[in-house]
Structure 1
């Protein structure tokens, strides 16, 4: 297997808001407000670069910011394949943090909504050993068609595909069966507990794994502070706990997990070691504000 991974997903600017207390409707509340680079696909790409992977990242940004983003990603060991949108600006995400570190999002996907077939030529697959796609790319018509065309090409070339559903809110809007039909067959699924629950309609953890394993060769369920598990059609095959760490911000933890897992997979490590690498990445990510490595 080639050791290069192609990541497809969003580029966003994360505006992270940590209020000192409950929001007061119609009045003020002091808050810490910070800007951080973000986007599920971008987070995964940068975490992969930090893990030493050979990573190519395809996305769409505002044309005026394209050069800036290209320099940014190159500086973080990511090869950018960015299209510039002449009309829409780059995406922006407002994250509201509660005292426990849990997040709520307000999303303007901007240029990401115009990702098209021309932005994802089949040539991106040259020398690629795995394609990692953020679920956000399926939730708008244009990007969905572009990604589906790329995935068809990947399947023709026998390039493994990994899917991260990415958003429980959007997933709930379209419904699990519609999303699964959009995605089609894939070798890997990286889902969190809520996504696994919604995609299967099952509350039992092992049943979730078995049901998802009917469609995906390998299923990884991210369980936050409880760690993660790996399995498939036969149920759970491996499960590992997460280390106890102080949670500051859970933004990007799932992206860091997927990146750690995939980087280890492309190094040729066994699945148990991949699971451990993913958990280590996720645990690291929750200890600071923002979705990308410090």
Structure 2
């Protein structure tokens, strides 16, 4: 199976360690997909700085294809982070630059890029990728589309959901403080705009999947003493998607209860193990930023 991450990459700069760890939702999903046995690619803009070089180096070492990544002059995406009791805490205003090249120059897919994208069974992107205007073009090629809407309210407005949901086959939302009833009601709202399957992760509270046929499935979190929760959601989603594909999920098929049970278990196990390494997947660069 072939999975493509489309859009965002960055480094998470751990202030207390002076270490930059590669990350970004679409990039993470590509790396985690490769770690779970998929052929993976990433298509997103990186800068021509030392951070961009490190991101591309890590992709190669993780066997993620980056042959179509545009490299632009400028600063690669970065986020400042502290770790408190194993949990990530983002620090706003640490960097002078508001945007990296990935935000300033998101991928505008050429005909060659579209031919490349067409070779993938599943294409994953996120609300941070700034490629909403490209998703419809990708969808026309026929792959499964997965999309991470994260946790911010601005990505849950009626306007945004109405724009993006109809193009998505598997939508992911972070819903840590929501009850089962609230999650189910929200999933139905998303599906009302045209979204198909809706997966909601809730940290220690486990997961809820509401399928396009309206059935609700609940999964359990694997509780561990986390070293670092960076990438916990991305690693869960990537392993969940890869396992569903291994179990035979296609764009038009029904996701059976047995497929979901296997995927939930594999995803919880992989995400739990991922929380035992620093950063999204390790590979930190010692640097003063």
Q: Which structure has more RCO (C-alpha within 8 Å, separation ≥ 6)? A: 2
Q: How does 1:108-119 map to 2 (within 5 A)?
A: 108-113=98-103, 114-118=105-109
Give the equivalent residue in structure 2 for 1:192: 174
Work out which of the residue numbers 83, 98, 105 in structure 1 matches 2:70.
83
Runs of 4+ in 1 over 6 A off after TM superposition: none
Report the Cα offset of residue 193 of structure 1: 0.5
Q: What TM-score do the two structures reach when normalised by structure 2?
A: 0.80
Give the equivalent residue in structure 2 for 1:39: 24
Matched, 1:59 2:41: no
Q: 1:99 to 1:195 in 2, by over 3 A?
A: closer
Higher strand fraction (1 or 2): 1
Q: 1:59 to 1:196 in 2, by over 3 A?
A: farther
Work out which of the residue numbers 263, 268, 273 in structure 1 matches 2:247.
268
1:167-210 per-residue CA deviation (whole Å, 9 max, x = no partner) reads x3xx434652232133241110111115989xxxx962322232
8 Å CA contact 2:146–2:170 kept in 1: the answer is: yes
8 Å CA contact 1:209–1:233 kept in 2: the answer is: no
Give the equivalent residue in structure 2 for 1:24: none
Matched, 1:92 2:78: yes
Query: 2:238 and 2:91 mapped to 1: Cα distance?
Result: 22
Higher helix fraction (1 or 2): 1
SS of structure 2 residue aligned to 1:136: coil
Report the Cα offset of residue 293 of structure 1: 5.3
Q: 1:178 to 1:72 in 2, by over 3 A?
A: same
Give the equivalent residue in structure 2 for 1:126: 118
Give the equivalent residue in structure 1 for 2:216: 237
Query: 1:60 and 1:183 mapped to 2: Cα distance?
Result: 21
Matched, 1:288 2:288: no
Report the Cα offset of residue 52 of structure 1: 1.1
Report the Cα offset of residue 67 of structure 1: 5.4
Query: 2:211 and 2:232 mapped to 1: Cα distance?
Result: 23
Work out which of the residue numbers 123, 139, 144 in structure 2 matches 1:160.
144
Question: Alignment length, in residue pairs?
Answer: 263
SS of structure 2 residue aligned to 1:128: coil
Q: What TM-score do the two structures reach when normalised by structure 1?
A: 0.79
Structure 1: stretches of 5+ with no match in the other structure: 18-30, 139-143
Structure 2: stretches of 5+ with no match in the other structure: 249-258, 284-289
SS of structure 2 residue aligned to 1:82: coil
CA RMSD in angstroms comes to: 2.7
